[in-house]
Amino acid sequence: MDMESTGSEKDRQEIAERFLGQARLDRYRRELPDLEKALALHSWNQEYAGALHVILSYAEIALRNSIDRALSQLSASELGTTHWTGVDSYRYNGEKKPSERMRLPSAISPLIRTDVFKAHQHAQEASLERIIRRKSPRTDRGYGHQDVLSQLMFGTWCRLVGEPYTSRRTERTQRLWTSVLHEAFPQVSSGEDGRIQIARKLMQLREIRNREAHHENLLYVDPENVIDAVMSLLASIDPRYTHGWVNPDIVRQVSYRDPRRNEPIRAAAFKLTGLDARDGHLNALEVLKELVRYSDDHNGRVLFCNSVRVRNQYFGRLREIVLYADNDHIAVGVIAAQGLIKENTSPDGKAPGYRCPDVFAQSGSCSGSRWYAINNLSMTSRSADSFRMLERDKTLREAFESTRANFVYLK
């Protein structure tokens, strides 16, 4: 390599750091150390964000319109108008706080009154913009219910459904759900189980939507998990929405072009052993099932700790984790983050939102030299024979059952 090419590479790296930012570029180089490959990964991430944005937007549109229909019924019975956003009783005149003149149904006012007021502000500003710049064929000087509705954020609908658990904090959303909001999701239970089911889907989609909207990396967002959440949400509103209206294959096609697919290090597999937990001894299969159950109950997030020391040159390049109880019981998840556990410290602060199952943590079995924040850990129908060891002519089962190893790298 001559001096000119070396200088050119340094210049390109400097420009990339200034353009993307050091922290952002470093994140991609942790995945693919080569600068050009890292930049290709960043470019792919932007394309992936665009594909996700399309199907998420369909989910948000269907969600907004379905909730609007349900709340319109509530408003008609209480206020005598289907315009539950208060446009019949209020026009924004520069106030900084919601006015008492803005009449909303009593069941939703405490939950989203401020959101609706801000939407009024934005609708008023858009109305003035239409007049000043003549950018719209509309000639009216006011704004209506649909204008306010279009200005409400995804978070507004999440607040109406509430948190995905039952507590005193969710009493208002529980009452709203039972009285009318469940009608927006006729394919799920009208009881608390149905509300929690929808709340979990909305929490998952909102997190991904916020990440793509703020140009964050989506390197460990599982496309099938997003597709499943979008399609199941649409099905809960109207099963007909899932046929011919949203094309999830676009997301799959972009996902398949992930530059990391050609990298040799893909997964690390661990053979589980039994442990003494709070309620007695758990065998390997019981440990595996508890990890999967915890992941299902906590928005697809669980923390796995193991004392096996993974070699540092491979550690940062792992994409997937395979937890092996026996040949018929194997779980697979995506590694969202990973790190070392220092003595007398907990990994919880390093991976917010990820925790070991409570029964593990109380038994002290969460301690170890490595931690892995895992997304969407679930049982797989694949057999151990289908997992091939990296650069060796052995399968996962052969490695674990013949050599008694409890850790291997997989292709």
Per-residue pLDDT of the chain (411 residues; tens, 9 = 90+): 454 555 688 888 899 999 999 999 988 988 888 999 999 999 999 999 999 999 999 999 999 999 999 999 999 999 999 999 998 888 777 787 777 788 999 999 999 999 999 999 888 888 877 766 665 565 556 788 999 999 999 999 999 999 998 888 899 999 999 999 999 999 999 999 999 999 999 998 999 999 999 999 998 788 888 998 999 999 999 999 999 899 999 999 998 899 987 777 678 999 998 887 777 788 999 999 999 999 999 888 999 988 776 665 566 667 889 999 988 899 999 988 887 776 545 555 567 788 888 887 665 556 667 888 999 999 999 888 888 887 677 888 888 887 667 888 887
Asked whether 218 and 49 are in contact (CB, 8 A), the reply is yes
Residue 258 vs residues 22, 37, 38, 255, 363: alpha-carbon distances, Å: 22, 11, 11, 6, 40
Cα gap 215→49, rounded to integer Å: 8
pLDDT of 137 reads 61
Structure tokens at 69: 């229909």
Q: In terms of C-beta density within 10 A (0-12 exposed, 13-18 middle, 19 or more buried), how is residue 208 classed?
A: buried
Cα gap 403→393, rounded to integer Å: 14
Entry pTM:
0.69
Cα gap 349→207, rounded to integer Å: 19
Please report, as a single letter, which amino acid is at residue 146: Q
Neighbour count for residue 138 (Cβ, 10 Å): 12
